[in-house]
Amino acid sequence: MIPKAAMTDLDAALLAGQCAPSTISMYQRDAAAYIAWCKSAGVAPVDSISLARWRTHLATATTMSPNTINRMLSAVKRIVREGASQGFTTQENAAQFKQVAGVRKVAMKERTRPHNRVRITPADMRRMCDAPDTSTPVGLRDAALLATLASTGARIASIAGLTIGQVAKQGRGYIVSIMGKNESEYRPVPLTVEAHKAIMAWVASRPAMSQHVFTSFSGRGNRATTEPMSEVSAWRTVQRYAAQVGLAHIKPHDFRRFVGTQLATRKGVHIAQQVLGHKDPRTTLQNYVLSDMAEDVTEGLY
């Protein structure tokens, strides 16, 4: 057996071919945070006791939500498990890491972010999507980005890295091919005619051609590049237009919840589940369908 010391860097590249690139990137960030803490604490990253102590540190010395903490713990455990399968550590060590429990949400409910799920109404979404100045290249790109997020419900990582080849005509409409988190194959996701038109307008007029749909601008002069937008840049773009129309705390994932809520209300949960790519409809219901309960529903009860 290869000793535990053979695996000290927790390289998420071990997951190549097992997870989507965006997932691997997220796992790498979480593993890097864990390793940095281990170095500062003088403990060995490959020992499961270190992971348990890191959990305590995250719960007591940070303001992270329980969901974030559990995601970070899971990332480390997933990398160690794959390391064991490739012989870089022992199966016994991977089993010890697996036994490290996450934090309990009920015990940290005060950490739950008050704006974790912000409702976007159809009128709000229309105002955001109409906000970009399409007389400028940046505005054209941003209008296409917002319309694509609002009509596909795809994650920001999938849309930021979208390529021209992933956009296609299908039947009576259009689709984008998306490989989401934990998916092994591309799947078609509906794209509205409006979003497709916005994408084509942007691609046809942009200063620099690229295989990527949403390319970036650099420098104070907004010089067009052939590189795709980063997730951070796409996130900031969403927040900028939300603020411009007077909406606070809007995140790209709120666009995903908007699509899930509207589809579930109009077409049923099964359709929402298919578009969002969830294997279990309970995931759709619990996390992506926001209640339409009216604020005055209890008026007149007595």
Q: pLDDT tens digits for 121-138?
A: 999 999 999 999 999 999
Cα–Cα distance list, 236 to 13, 140, 212, 268 (Å): 28, 16, 19, 32
CA–CA separation, 136 and 148 (whole Å): 18
Phi, psi values for residue 230, rounded to 5°: -80, 160
- At residue 130, the pLDDT reads 97
pLDDT band, very low/low/confident/very high, at 2 (cuts 50, 70, 90): very low
Comparing 257 with 5, the larger pLDDT belongs to 257
CA–CA separation, 144 and 50 (whole Å): 45
Q: Which amino acid is at 224?
A: A
CA-only gyration radius of the chain, Å: 22
pLDDT at residue 296 is higher than 70: no
Span 251-280, average pLDDT: 90
**Count of other CB atoms within 10 angstroms of residue 223:** 11
Q: 137-152 and 122-129 are packed helices; what angle lies between their axes, rounded to 10 degrees?
A: 150
- At residue 286, the pLDDT reads 80
Q: Considering the entire predicted model, what is its pTM?
A: 0.69
- At residue 26, the pLDDT reads 84
CA–CA separation, 30 and 9 (whole Å): 12
Span 98-110, average pLDDT: 86
Span 61-86, average pLDDT: 91
Average pLDDT, the chain: 88
pLDDT digits (tens, 9 = 90+) for 141-195: 999 999 999 999 999 989 999 999 999 999 999 999 988 776 678 899 999 999 9
pLDDT band, very low/low/confident/very high, at 8 (cuts 50, 70, 90): low
Q: Long-range contact list for 184-188, CB < 8 A, 24+ apart?
A: 187/277
